[in-house]
Amino acid sequence: MEFEVIAKCPTTKARVSRMKLAHGTTMLPIFMPVATQAAIKGLTPQQVEALGINLILNNTYHLNLRPGIKVLNEAGGAHKFQGWKHNLLTDSGGFQLVSLNKFTQITEEGALFESPFDGKPTMLTPEESISIQHAIGADIIMQLDDVVSSLTVGPRVGEAMWRTIRWLDRCIEHHEKSGRTDVQNLFAIVQGGLDTELRDQCLDEMIARKNRVAGYAIGGLSGGEEKDVFWRVIKQCADRLPWDRPRYSMGIGFAEDLLVCVALGVDMADCVFPTRTARFGVALTFKGPLNLRLKKHAADFGPIDADCPCPTCANGTSRAMLHHILTLETAGAHAVTQHNLVFQARLMGRARDAIVGGTFPDYLKSFFAEYFGDKGYPEWCVNALRSVGVDLLEGREQITVIPGGAANWDRPHSEQ
Ligand SMILES: [Zn+2]
């Protein structure tokens, strides 16, 4: 990997970087769409490419189950298997083992789980996770980590953090032995829950291994924790992670979360939210999410967003048409999915332009004003941005500030 920071916001911690991988150059900060089964739900790889997207995420757990490593090896890796010419990142499979499989037991050796096919006990070790990711051939691969929910408290959080460091060492050893370090880049995952001391200890250990990892992820968040705690952990990690390594915040997809994370120094993020919400008929716009299934759109003949260059808006597909087909035809979900991925790309593209142009604080202010309007700003966003020198309320004292909570699934500004 070649990684170079090319611009820095003089106020916040935001930066623009160029990340050159084996399948091309990706500019950061970026949002990565999730193609769980080697396909973004509702879109072909060619459609994703046509949207200008050049880095997507595949799930190791799912690809290992189906089509399986044998098929992927025969195909020559996941790029060839899915006809994707651009960059690819895989997770380690650990998160799915814990979240999808209630019988998973973590031991020092690895994660012991019940195969969903034949019910047999199956072990995923750090070495095996890396081997599977080698067969997939992703440009960026993730270490296997010991995942605990961000709501877990007590000694289990520390145990998981220290095990994650030991597993990182096993992943590094196994990866270095493979001779694939020039084409596949291993990222470490900072754990430690919501405990600042554990996070610091994890950062100490992982930063000490800097010369053997290509980048860092911030894990163990986005699990329903208070947003005011979430951003403080992101800031603590981003402030300490090495300047010359990309930083990836896992499971972040709401527009305001993305921009706050960028302001705190995050470069990459992924989430199923924009594609999942599209299938429920919600289009993302700079004026807030738009629920196209609502009756009021039945005779609304404008596009989702007249300024949007996505194929759905540019071809003039009306909100009324989308309202009509969303519950009848899968084409409705495809159309909104394309729009939502372009929205995420524009949101981050505008952030990059603003950072390069020295106007990122103004972009943050104008984004929040347009997106939330007079519905009120989430307090955690106001607090987080104040911590990096941007006061969203400056000159806008009339705006209501909505106290934070576990705001992940609570969208007060969503159109009802
Ligand atoms: Zn559009």
- The string of pLDDT tens digits covering residues 305-360 is 999 999 999 999 999 999 999 988 999 999 999 999 999 999 999 999 999 999 99
Residue 416 located in a structural domain: no
Q: Length of the chain in residues, anyone?
A: 416
Where is the domain boundary, 256, 271, 286?
Answer: 271
How far apart are the CA of 276 and the centre of ligand 1, in A?
16
- 98 and 198 fall within a common domain: yes
Q: What is the predicted pLDDT for the residue at 238?
A: 98
Where is the domain boundary, 271, 290, 318?
Answer: 271
Helix (H) or strand (E) holding 62, with range, is: helix 60-65
Separation CA 362–CA 354 (nearest Å):
8
| Whether the predicted pLDDT of 84 surpasses 80 | yes
- 224 and 365 fall within a common domain: no
How far apart are the CA of 396 and the centre of ligand 1, in A?
30
- 267 and 287 fall within a common domain: no
| Whether the predicted pLDDT of 104 surpasses 90 | no
- 25 and 170 fall within a common domain: yes
Tell the residue number behind the tokens 């921009």, with chain if given.
259
Residue 415 located in a structural domain: no
The domain spanning residue 191 has which CATH number?
A: 3.20.20.105
Where is the domain boundary, 230, 250, 271?
Answer: 271
Ramachandran angles phi, psi of 253, nearest 5°: -145, -15
Residue 403 located in a structural domain: yes
Residue 150 located in a structural domain: yes
Residue 345 located in a structural domain: yes
The more confident residue out of 149 and 17 is 17
- 265 and 283 fall within a common domain: no
- Span 365-402, pLDDT tens digits: 999 999 998 889 999 999 999 999 999 999 888 898 99
Q: What is the predicted pLDDT for the residue at 137?
A: 96
- Span 265-296, pLDDT tens digits: 999 999 999 999 999 999 999 999 999 999 99
Does 267 qualify as catalytic in the annotation? no
User: Which residues are known binding-site members?
Assistant: 91-95, 145, 191, 220, 308, 310, 313, 339
- 251 and 287 fall within a common domain: no
- 339 and 384 fall within a common domain: yes
- 284 and 260 fall within a common domain: no
Residue 237 located in a structural domain: yes
Separation CA 50–CA 311 (nearest Å):
9
- 266 and 304 fall within a common domain: no
Average pLDDT of the residues of the chain: 93
- Span 13-52, pLDDT tens digits: 999 999 999 999 999 999 999 988 778 888 999 999 999 9
pLDDT band for position 410 (cuts 50, 70, 90): very low
Q: What is the predicted pLDDT for the residue at 98?
A: 77
Residue 184 located in a structural domain: yes
**Exposed/middle/buried for residue 210 (C-beta within 10 Å: 0-12, 13-18, 19+):** middle
Does 118 qualify as catalytic in the annotation? no
**DSSP per residue, 326-376:** TTT-HHHHHHHHHHHHHHHHHHHHHHHHHHHHT-HHHHHHHHHHHHHGGG-
The domain total for the chain is 2
> Which residue of the set 139, 146, 267, 270 is catalytic?
270
How far apart are the CA of 313 and the centre of ligand 1, in A?
4
- 262 and 384 fall within a common domain: no
- 264 and 367 fall within a common domain: no
Distances (CA, A) of 338 to 84, 147, 202: 17, 32, 38
Separation CA 371–CA 196 (nearest Å):
32
pLDDT band for position 414 (cuts 50, 70, 90): very low
* Mean pLDDT, residues 252-259 taken together: 96
How far apart are the CA of 51 and the centre of ligand 1, in A?
11
Domain that holds residue 282: 277-409
Residue 250 located in a structural domain: yes
- 326 and 235 fall within a common domain: no
User: Which residues are known binding-site members for Zn(2+)?
Assistant: 308, 310, 313, 339
Q: What is the predicted pLDDT for the residue at 100?
A: 76
